[in-house]
């Protein structure tokens, strides 16, 4: 069985190119949504794996349900608040993953709810390409110390802030 | 759902954004026939202050990988330049139909 995030990214490309000449708004909008959820599940999967043993599948799935979209966005928009926990310099790939998460989350919201926007294929493919780059960038840094801090913050920073 | 407009549009921020984008425009970094841009202020889906930069562009049914990379580079360049000009709103960049 393939990973959900890879399947979602493939689905995004498929939907965006599904109608070669006159793409349906429904296809383009679902493609944007799939691109966002591809990056979301990439990070949630990595977060769950970083906090559990490989045999603890049930615990991992339970942990993954605790990730919150808005809280993750806040972390991505405020990476500088993690600097005390991170080693310098911050990897540009990590900054890129964080930026892409924020951009795609809003794009997904527009795609799902904003009927005043008409999507064009160029825009949608550009956003899927962003997700694609986020996958490559994450692959390059996922085992770094800063990536582990980032994953922990995505899940826990909203609780750290309350202290 | 229509985007909620910001109660007050900050004229100073609007000027900075225009200055930042005109710098890129003058450097002729806008590719693929992009000649101008539209700016819209508001709050994003989580209620944070944001600005949307829209670039009218001819739709391409099958853009090359290189073209998508160039458009991504433009998006990042615009976001970086806007931040360099001291704008704290999150800049969202999108491409819209030219006509």
Which residues, given as ranges, of chain B have pLDDT below 70? 1-9, 28
What local confidence, expressed as pLDDT, does residue B30 receive?
80
What local confidence, expressed as pLDDT, does residue B84 receive?
94
Disruptive mutation site among A107, A122, A136 for chain B (greatest number of B CBs within 10 Å): A122
What local confidence, expressed as pLDDT, does residue A124 receive?
98
The three-class DSSP label of residue A5 is helix
Give chain A positions within 8 Å (CB) of B69: 129
What is the rounded CA–CA span in Å between residue A34 and residue A134? 14
What local confidence, expressed as pLDDT, does residue A23 receive?
96
What local confidence, expressed as pLDDT, does residue A76 receive?
97
Burial of B20: CB neighbours in 10 Å, binned 0-12, 13-18, 19+ = buried
Give chain B positions within 8 Å (CB) of A125: 63, 68
Chain A residues 94-113 with a CB less than 8 Å from chain B: 96, 99, 102-103, 105-107, 109, 113
Instruction: Please provide the DSSP assignment of A29-91 as one string.
Output: HHHHHHHHHHHHHHHHHHHHHHHS-TT-HHHHHHHHTT--HHHHHHHHHTGGGGGGGSPSSPP
Average pLDDT estimate for A134-160: 95
Contacts of B16 (CB under 8 A, 6+ apart): B82, B85, B86, B87
Question: Which of A73, A74, A126 has its CB closest to that of B95?
Answer: A126
Question: Which of A102, A105, A126 has its CB closest to that of B71?
Answer: A126
pLDDT at residue A2 tops 80: no
pLDDT tens digit sequence for A9-40: 999 999 999 999 999 999 999 999 999 999 99
Q: What domains are defined for chain B?
A: 11-97 (3.30.70.1350)
**What are the domain boundaries of chain A?**
4-160
Disruptive mutation site among B38, B47, B61, B93 for chain A (greatest number of A CBs within 10 Å): B61
What local confidence, expressed as pLDDT, does residue B7 receive?
46
pTM assigned to the model? 0.93
pLDDT tens digit sequence for A78-120: 999 999 999 999 999 999 999 999 999 999 999 999 999 999 9
Question: Which of B1, B46, B59 has its CB closest to that of A70?
Answer: B46
Closest approach of A87 to chain B, Cα-based (Å): 22
pLDDT tens digit sequence for A119-137: 999 999 999 999 999 999 9
Average pLDDT estimate for A50-69: 93
Classify the C-alpha dihedral B83-B88-B93-B96 as positive or negative. Answer: negative
Judged by phi (left if over 0) then psi (alpha if -120 to 50, else beta), residue B9 lies in: beta
Question: Which of B2, B63, B76 has its CB closest to that of A122?
Answer: B63
What local confidence, expressed as pLDDT, does residue A161 receive?
66
Identify the band that residue A71 occupies on the pLDDT scale cut at 50, 70 and 90: very high
What local confidence, expressed as pLDDT, does residue B3 receive?
52
What local confidence, expressed as pLDDT, does residue B31 receive?
82
In this complex, is the C-beta atom of A125 within 8 Å of any C-beta atom belonging to chain B?
yes
Q: What angle do CA A146, A150, A153 make, to 5 degrees?
A: 140
Contact between B20 and B85 (Cβ < 8 Å): yes
């Amino acid at each position: 069985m393939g990973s959900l995030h890879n399947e979602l990214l493939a689905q995004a490309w498929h939907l965006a190119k599904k109608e070669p000449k006159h793409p349906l708004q429904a296809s383009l909008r679902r493609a944007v949504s799939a691109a966002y959820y591809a990056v979301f599940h990439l990070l949630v999967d990595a977060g769950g794996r970083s906090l559990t043993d490989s045999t603890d599948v049930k615990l991992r799935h339970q942990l993954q349900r605790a990730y919150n979209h808005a809280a993750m966005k806040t972390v991505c928009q405020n990476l500088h608040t993690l600097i005390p926990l991170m080693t310098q310099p911050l990897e540009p790939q990590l900054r890129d993953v964080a930026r892409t998460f924020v951009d795609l989350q809003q794009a997904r919201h527009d795609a799902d709810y904003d009927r005043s926007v008409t999507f064009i294929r160029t825009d949608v493919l550009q956003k899927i390409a962003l997700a694609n780059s986020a996958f490559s960038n994450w692959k390059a840094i996922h085992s770094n110390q800063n990536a582990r801090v980032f994953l922990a913050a995505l899940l826990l920073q909203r609780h750290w802030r309350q202290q | 759902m229509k985007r909620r407009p910001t109660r007050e549009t900050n004229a100073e921020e609007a000027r900075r954004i225009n200055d930042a984008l005109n710098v890129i425009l003058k450097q002729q970094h806008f590719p693929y026939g992009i000649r101008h841009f539209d700016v819209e202020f508001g709050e994003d889906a989580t209620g944070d202050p944001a600005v949307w930069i829209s670039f009218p562009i001819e739709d391409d049914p099958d853009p090359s990988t290189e073209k998508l990379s160039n458009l991504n580079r433009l998006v990042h360049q615009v976001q970086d330049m806007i931040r360099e000009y001291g704008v704290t709103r999150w800049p969202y960049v999108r491409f819209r139909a030219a006509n």
